[in-house]
Structure 1
Amino acid sequence: MRDLDTRAQNVMRNIDQLADDFMANLKNLTSEKRKEAMADIQQQFNKAKEYGDDKVQLAIQTYELVDKHIRRLDSDLARFESEIQDKVTSNTRPTDDQVSVAVKKGRKKIKEKEKKRKGLSSDDDSGGKTLKKRKKTGGKAVGGKNAGGKATSIPASDSPLAVLPLASGDVLDMPVDPNEPTYCLCHQVSYGEMIGCDNPDCPIEWFHFACVNLTTKPKGKWFCPKCISDRKKK
């Protein structure tokens, strides 16, 4: 980019010098000499424009390369966060031994309560109340939210303990920046090789090679299909 800037500046200085010489000797130049001088100045302008187009292409390619790496980093970050969430979920999930210990503790507490009630009521009544209490505790909601967002309940006939795994979110690609400008007849963002219309009033300005049936950069001035059509109407 710096090398292109240097070349463009040298060409512009050369154009200024040629223009000054042309204006200073205009009265003494013949018609042929004037045409030659004008052609020389025009050639230098074309060269400066080529350097400018090359700078634009280089800037577009650099932008696409940086954007590509940003998207890759975003994807890796989302995958890394998903892996961390899975590890946390697996670490907090109780093992079979933990479930067994919890069941034993629950049964022990129930037996202790049954012993305390023996002095107040008969064994049958005590057993009936205990059964009712166990049925009440059986339907309590445990675990996190499912995919529908509703809490999951465990019926009384199921195991007294249950754990639901957390649902992990889908990893989505980074959307295209909505603020990024669009170009060409296809109204898409800049990519690949592009060419600029030489009409200063062109509303689109830049076009993809493939959209205007170009494979290489044409020599001289180039006008887009829209500007050519507008000129023919005039």
Structure 2
Amino acid sequence: MRARALDDAMDAEGGACAALVREVMDAAAADGGGDGLSATSSSAALKAMRARAVSELETRAKTMRALADARVATVQGAYDAVDEAITKLDRDLAVFEEAVRARDRSYDDLAVRNVGALGDADAASPASGGFVGSGAYDAPMANPNEPTYCICQQVSFGEMIACENDDCPIEWYHFACVGLSVKNKVKGKWICPTCKKRESSRR
């Protein structure tokens, strides 16, 4: 809006200057010759008119220069604001993308990070035996009253498998957390990584 107003003001000043020049030239033609703006104009009245016109033209020229400077400053200010907004958007986008990558890495490396970093846990068993769930691995919304299992310390969900070591502190594990898959189910006895490590250390 400010830039448009400045443009309109400059157009008005330019139109006023053109009208003033035409007025002096018309007066000179009526006076008997000359362009009215040169020093050779003979009529005293025309000379006075010329002097006033030159003074007004100089004033209007200064006004137009000031308007032009303001117009440039307005455009530069708008450009700087847009550039700053784009720079901030780029920074925010970079932070967001890094957060997404970090989250994806944490999901992909869940089993690797958790195996070998087990704490003591209460032995508990889901309601059903053997393999549990439909094969979905998305964890459900946690119920604070529901028991947790596995090295990830989450509630029962998806495919799970029980460690067949009677002394296992955790007992039940999610397939994904111990590197198993629905297509590659364990045949026979399965011992969790923690119990395997304990058995190896006793030998």
Kindly name which structure, 1 or 2, has the bigger radius of gyration based on alpha carbons: 2
> TM class by shorter-chain length?
0.3 to 0.5
TM-score (normalised: structure 1):
0.33
What is the TM-score when the length of structure 2 is the normalising length?
0.37
